[in-house]
Amino acid sequence: MVDTILQKAQTAFLSYKRINGKEKARFLRAIADEIENLGPNLIEVIAQETHLSESRIVSERSRTTGHCRMFASLVEEGSWVEARWDTALPNRTPTPQPDIRKMLHPLGPVVVFGAANFPLAYSTAGGDTASALAAGCPVVVKGHPAHPATSAMVAQAIDQAARHTGMPEGVFQHVSGGIEIGQALVAHPLTRAVGFTGSLAGGKALFDLAQQRPVPIPVFAEMSSINPVILLPTSLQTNPELPAKALAASLTTGMGQFCTCPGLVMGVRSAGLDQFIDHYLRAVQSVAPGPMLHSGIAENYYQRVHQTVTATKVTNLLPANPRGNPLHGHPGVAMVAAADFLMTPSLQEEVFGPFALVVICEDRHELTQVISHLPGQLTCTLWGEEAEIQQYSGWLNLLMEKAGRLIINGVPTGVEVCPSMQHGGPFPATTDARFTAVGPDAIKRFVRPIAYQNFPDSLLPAELQPHNPLGIWRIKDGQWGKD
Amino acid sequence: MVDTILQKAQTAFLSYKRINGKEKARFLRAIADEIENLGPNLIEVIAQETHLSESRIVSERSRTTGHCRMFASLVEEGSWVEARWDTALPNRTPTPQPDIRKMLHPLGPVVVFGAANFPLAYSTAGGDTASALAAGCPVVVKGHPAHPATSAMVAQAIDQAARHTGMPEGVFQHVSGGIEIGQALVAHPLTRAVGFTGSLAGGKALFDLAQQRPVPIPVFAEMSSINPVILLPTSLQTNPELPAKALAASLTTGMGQFCTCPGLVMGVRSAGLDQFIDHYLRAVQSVAPGPMLHSGIAENYYQRVHQTVTATKVTNLLPANPRGNPLHGHPGVAMVAAADFLMTPSLQEEVFGPFALVVICEDRHELTQVISHLPGQLTCTLWGEEAEIQQYSGWLNLLMEKAGRLIINGVPTGVEVCPSMQHGGPFPATTDARFTAVGPDAIKRFVRPIAYQNFPDSLLPAELQPHNPLGIWRIKDGQWGKD
């Protein structure tokens, strides 16, 4: 089965890769339209399968149709291909320089593994699928087993969009099945890249498999992040309630089931920090328990919380307790001294859900130590006043090495879909910090440059034609412009 | 030892990464100056260690100083950081959009393995070193054992340049030693990326090691390519002598010791192809034997030629024969029918040196089959007339999937160092076809984006300041410009 799927994807690739940006844009917009056309039926199915609230689903739907349309605009405009043109220098000595032009081209069939926590935005028509299709890569989605009906409905919408806009058969395929099918998709010789959002164990296993192929392929896996928050003294002195409320809301929104959930908070022991903790616990405590995505995630949450709060010298400040409904998530907060945190590596592992660990440092030196020992993250957040952050700019310098996105006096949840977004970070946050899963630059994961030397104009893509018929930004003889 | 080296590199990194583009440019230009200051002494040492001709060494030196100055100009100008800025939308509903800005930052310490065949341009101060230093990454070079004195001299020049321009100690380090040292450098937790130019076996082993680390790191290894050339019927009918002479010169220049050496030539059986072969053999035969880089390379060359010409049904058209001097390379040409070529995978493996295999196809269909079966390449070349290539555009479509650079009516050797160059291709040509080893874009291998959310201006790098003090190209609110 997997071979038939990839053969079909490869056949589609050889024609889809030549389809121009305007047509790909029509396809991507049609996907957005078809998802909207599914109407309240889709909302109901998702609510049944994921227990997410209607408002959350509606907002995730507009995020999903939003990124489909964003990639449509990107490929319609066309400058994303990074066109470069060095004109010939026939009189150069000792040897003439030939005419060379270059642009980005799609890699080939991409296999996408959707996430449990975003049944729309990081799933069947999620950011990986949309960016790969925008790049010119056929996509094979392995539907997430936690929301099979949702995945099938969205897959039908994409199929419909492909048919209506005359895309080649096989440009999108949807597969259900277990781990074996997923592994076979990654291992197939015609697969050219993989997009994954999920657990560290799952992502790392697929990454390893892809690197051990006779022909290794790129895997962008977004896996694990505890999104540390550092509270500086002045911000705690002046108004500890402000970060406390903001971080409590960020921790508990969507029952903490976000890859950017702030699961680690740290500061130097002080009256301000005590006040912060009071406010924080009060704010977290006020959040009513609510359903998690599915029972497996809830079970795993309570198990991981249990492991954490029963670790040596961890104080359970706000016990997470399902209170009779095993599907319900209940926020939890624990506390540990920095010295103990540093000695217990397991405390640095992600607890997926609304749980935060507060790390108490004795002084700035110890805070620096904790920061230094952090593994790679999607985000790091700093609460403090401008002058203080400037004074201790060494922290910022260190934090840069830990994360893909740095936030000051804000919260990591709420990932904007925009050109400046970096949703990716050093391992284990992702498998390759050089790429992002969100925003237009996500397309770069699935493309490679091809240079054309001494080509007659008639054989070049429109993007590289002399008179720039698409009006895109290019670098010609070293200069940016639209000439 | 390796630990001390990487600790030093990491310490250097924390200050070097903050050094601005103008200062890095001074450093890179000083490297070029110091290499030139080594004068005739360097030329002599290289000639002794590599047996390359003086003219070749002089031209490789200017290529090397040229790329140092090219990267200097790139980082001085500054637009390479891909700055993006999305301004805040405080009134957006339901949630305001925060201010987010993004740019590329260096990965950290980079380990570079130089190549035997380019003692300057792909070695100690080669393209990997220059691009990593330009990015802001400290570099540890493992000197190539085939030219230790050259490597040490260039390393001293770089050290001198670093001192003269006030760079942090440890920004560049040079290590000699065997495979174990190389492996330890790649395995060290502070190493953040690897650049390699060399054999498939060596590159793949380092790639595997890097992917099996607890924290995998990117390896860009440029390894193996036979650079296929496809001769179309019309070009053979009209003037078979033209491609014959050009390809013979390309095959034998520098005794074929280039990664872009055209080692595979193919066409459809015809009178024109016979004429081409006559001209080709005559031109190749007229090249006098000459010294190869070192005896190990010469030995390996004759061994690989022997393996190839003794394979089933291969005809040895022009035997390669050292003629008494085991260091001397002698060009060789063999011929095989496409059907036999397709059945013998070893014939698709690189023979490093001036050896070419001519594949005779019975018809266009068989030619298509041979192209389809090719592994990844740095380059593919097509000789033919415009109308004919257009008519059989399916070939071009197929060739795109095989290589990083396509050439029409030209030769693959002579890799221009310019923005449009793509020196990289699908595995096994390189380990990641999404990057290039040559040209300004080579810097992208060693950087990753960092996003800054809600940062006060005073804490942002100059590249992201509101009034664009560096005057670089940026994408602000989705629009390209220098605002």
Pairs of CB atoms within 8 A across A/B = 202
Pairing of strands B100-106, B83-86: antiparallel
Query: What is residue B483's predicted lDDT score, i.e. its pLDDT?
Result: 79
Predicted TM-score (pTM) of the model is 0.97
Report the C-alpha gap between A331 and A483 in whole angstroms: 57
Structure tokens at A335: 């506390």
Per-residue pLDDT, averaged over A226-248, amounts to 95
Query: What is residue B393's predicted lDDT score, i.e. its pLDDT?
Result: 79
Partner-chain residue, chosen from A216, A408, A441, that has the shortest CB–CB distance to B427: A216
Query: What is residue B322's predicted lDDT score, i.e. its pLDDT?
Result: 78
Partner-chain residue, chosen from A376, A450, A455, that has the shortest CB–CB distance to B404: A450
Query: What one-letter code names the amino acid at A169?
Result: E
Chain A, window 130-189: residues with a beta carbon less than 8 angstroms from a chain B beta carbon: none
Structure tokens at A197: 């959002």
The answer to whether B419 contacts A84, with C-beta atoms less than 8 Å apart, is yes
The answer to whether B201 contacts chain A (CB < 8 Å) is no
The answer to whether B473 contacts A453, with C-beta atoms less than 8 Å apart, is no
Query: What is residue A394's predicted lDDT score, i.e. its pLDDT?
Result: 85
The answer to whether A95 contacts chain B (CB < 8 Å) is yes
| Residue A222 appears among annotated catalytic residues | yes
Partner-chain residue, chosen from B82, B376, B421, that has the shortest CB–CB distance to A451: B421
The answer to whether B408 contacts A459, with C-beta atoms less than 8 Å apart, is yes
Q: How far is A319 from chain B (nearest CA, A)?
A: 31
Q: Where do the H-state alpha helices sit in B118-172?
A: 127-135, 148-164
* b (16+ CB within 10 A) / e for B215-225: ebbbbbbbbbb
Per-residue pLDDT, averaged over B354-373, amounts to 96
The answer to whether B448 contacts chain A (CB < 8 Å) is yes
Percent of residues, chain A, with pLDDT higher than 70 = 100
Task: Identify whether the C-beta of residue A246 lies closer than 8 Å to the C-beta of residue A255.
Answer: no
Report the C-alpha gap between A1 and A11 in whole angstroms: 16
In tens, the pLDDT along B156-205 reads 999 999 999 999 999 999 999 889 999 999 999 999 999 999 999 999 99
pLDDT at A423 exceeding the cut of 90 = yes
The answer to whether B107 contacts chain A (CB < 8 Å) is yes
Partner-chain residue, chosen from B107, B376, B408, that has the shortest CB–CB distance to A455: B408
For an interface test with A, the pick among B19, B105, B453 (most A C-beta atoms closer than 10 Å) comes out as B453
The answer to whether B408 contacts A456, with C-beta atoms less than 8 Å apart, is yes
Q: Which residue has the higher pLDDT, B439 or B324?
A: B439
The answer to whether A418 contacts B98, with C-beta atoms less than 8 Å apart, is no
Task: Identify whether the C-beta of residue A259 lies closer than 8 Å to the C-beta of residue A222.
Answer: yes
The answer to whether A98 contacts B211, with C-beta atoms less than 8 Å apart, is no
The answer to whether A78 contacts chain B (CB < 8 Å) is no
Residues of B in contact with A17 (CB under 8 A): 400
Active site residues of B: 222, 259
Query: What is residue B79's predicted lDDT score, i.e. its pLDDT?
Result: 97
Residue B195 has phi, psi (to 5 degrees) of -115, 135
Instruction: Give the residue on B whose Cα is nearest the Cα of A86.
Output: B420
The answer to whether B386 contacts A456, with C-beta atoms less than 8 Å apart, is yes
In tens, the pLDDT along B327-355 reads 999 999 999 999 999 999 999 999 999 99
Instruction: Give chain A's largest Cα–Cα span.
Output: 83
* b (16+ CB within 10 A) / e for A130-163: bbbbbbbbbbbbbbbebbeebbebbbebbbbbbe
The answer to whether A408 contacts B207, with C-beta atoms less than 8 Å apart, is no
Q: Which residue has the higher pLDDT, B278 or A395?
A: B278
Residues of A in contact with B428 (CB under 8 A): 215
For an interface test with B, the pick among A16, A211, A389, A434 (most B C-beta atoms closer than 10 Å) comes out as A434
Task: Identify whether the C-beta of residue B9 lies closer than 8 Å to the C-beta of residue B173.
Answer: yes
Partner-chain residue, chosen from B396, B433, B441, that has the shortest CB–CB distance to A459: B396
Instruction: Give the residue on B whose Cα is nearest the Cα of A55.
Output: B94
Per-residue pLDDT, averaged over A165-193, amounts to 97
Chain B, window 337-376: residues with a beta carbon less than 8 angstroms from a chain A beta carbon: 375-376
Query: What is residue A136's predicted lDDT score, i.e. its pLDDT?
Result: 98
Task: Identify whether the C-beta of residue A96 lies closer than 8 Å to the C-beta of residue A125.
Answer: no
Per-residue pLDDT, averaged over A469-473, amounts to 97
User: Hey, which bits of B279-327 come out as E strands?
Assistant: 290-291, 315-318
The answer to whether A416 contacts B100, with C-beta atoms less than 8 Å apart, is yes
Percent of residues, chain B, with pLDDT higher than 70 = 100
Chain A, window 401-440: residues with a beta carbon less than 8 angstroms from a chain B beta carbon: 401, 403-410, 414, 416, 418-422, 424, 426-428, 431-434, 436
DSSP percent split of chain B into helix, strand, coil, nearest 5:
45, 20, 35
CA torsion sign for A369, A370, A371, A374 is positive
In tens, the pLDDT along A334-362 reads 999 999 999 999 999 999 999 999 999 99
For an interface test with A, the pick among B18, B71, B192, B420 (most A C-beta atoms closer than 10 Å) comes out as B420
Q: How far is B434 from chain A (nearest CA, A)?
A: 4
Residues of B in contact with A59 (CB under 8 A): 94
Residues of B in contact with A424 (CB under 8 A): 448-449
Task: Identify whether the C-beta of residue A80 lies closer than 8 Å to the C-beta of residue B480.
Answer: no
In tens, the pLDDT along A96-138 reads 999 999 999 999 999 999 999 999 999 999 999 999 999 999 9
Per-residue pLDDT, averaged over A394-420, amounts to 95
Report the C-alpha gap between B401 and B396 in whole angstroms: 9
The answer to whether B416 contacts A458, with C-beta atoms less than 8 Å apart, is no
The answer to whether A97 contacts B397, with C-beta atoms less than 8 Å apart, is no
Pairing of strands A474-476, A479-481: antiparallel
The answer to whether A450 contacts B401, with C-beta atoms less than 8 Å apart, is no
The answer to whether B404 contacts A451, with C-beta atoms less than 8 Å apart, is yes
The answer to whether B14 contacts A447, with C-beta atoms less than 8 Å apart, is no
Per this entry, what is the length of chain B? Answer: 483
Report the C-alpha gap between A451 and B422 in whole angstroms: 5
Query: What is residue B392's predicted lDDT score, i.e. its pLDDT?
Result: 80
- Distances in Å between the Cα of B100 and the Cα atoms of A191, A280, B85, B124, B394 are 35, 26, 6, 39, 44
* b (16+ CB within 10 A) / e for A247-264: bbebbbbbbbbbbbbbbb
Report the C-alpha gap between B352 and A256 in whole angstroms: 56
The answer to whether A410 contacts B441, with C-beta atoms less than 8 Å apart, is no
Query: What one-letter code names the amino acid at B243?
Result: P
In tens, the pLDDT along A219-231 reads 999 999 999 999 9
Residue B127 has phi, psi (to 5 degrees) of -60, -35
The answer to whether B458 contacts chain A (CB < 8 Å) is yes
- Report the candidate in A338, A332, A324, A371 with the shortest Cα–Cα distance to residue A354: A332
CA torsion sign for A84, A87, A93, A94 is positive
Residues of B in contact with A409 (CB under 8 A): 454
The answer to whether A406 contacts B79, with C-beta atoms less than 8 Å apart, is no
CA dihedral B216, B221, B226, B229 (to 10 degrees): 100
pLDDT at B8 exceeding the cut of 90 = yes
CB atoms within 10 A of CB B71: 30
In tens, the pLDDT along B49-102 reads 999 999 999 999 999 999 999 999 999 999 999 999 999 999 998 889 999 999
Query: What is residue B106's predicted lDDT score, i.e. its pLDDT?
Result: 98
Query: What is residue A241's predicted lDDT score, i.e. its pLDDT?
Result: 97
Query: What is residue A341's predicted lDDT score, i.e. its pLDDT?
Result: 97
Chain B, window 11-70: residues with a beta carbon less than 8 angstroms from a chain A beta carbon: 14, 17-18, 59
Mean pLDDT, rounded, of chain A? 96
| pLDDT-derived band at A51, boundaries 50, 70, 90 | very high
What is residue A380's DSSP assignment?
E
In tens, the pLDDT along B282-330 reads 999 999 999 999 999 999 999 999 999 999 899 999 999 878 899 999 9
Residues of B in contact with A414 (CB under 8 A): 95
Residues of A in contact with B82 (CB under 8 A): 441
Partner-chain residue, chosen from B420, B433, B456, that has the shortest CB–CB distance to A448: B433
In tens, the pLDDT along A290-328 reads 999 999 999 999 999 999 999 989 999 999 987 889 899
Look-up: residue for tokens 């160059």? Answer: B421
Per-residue pLDDT, averaged over A142-160, amounts to 97
3-state class of B264 per DSSP? strand
Query: What one-letter code names the amino acid at A406?
Result: L
pLDDT at B395 exceeding the cut of 90 = no
Query: What is residue B201's predicted lDDT score, i.e. its pLDDT?
Result: 96
Partner-chain residue, chosen from A102, A422, A456, that has the shortest CB–CB distance to B102: A422
The answer to whether A422 contacts B393, with C-beta atoms less than 8 Å apart, is no
The answer to whether A454 contacts B409, with C-beta atoms less than 8 Å apart, is yes
The answer to whether B390 contacts chain A (CB < 8 Å) is yes
Residue A216: CB partners within 8 Å, gap ≥ 6? A210, B207, B211, B427, B431
Which is catalytic among the residues A34, A49, A222, A463? A222
**Rg, C-alpha atoms of chain A:** 24
- Report the candidate in B243, B264, B220 with the shortest Cα–Cα distance to residue B422: B220
How many Å separate Cα B218 from the centre of its chain? 16
As for the ipTM of the complex, it is: 0.97
3-state class of B175 per DSSP? strand
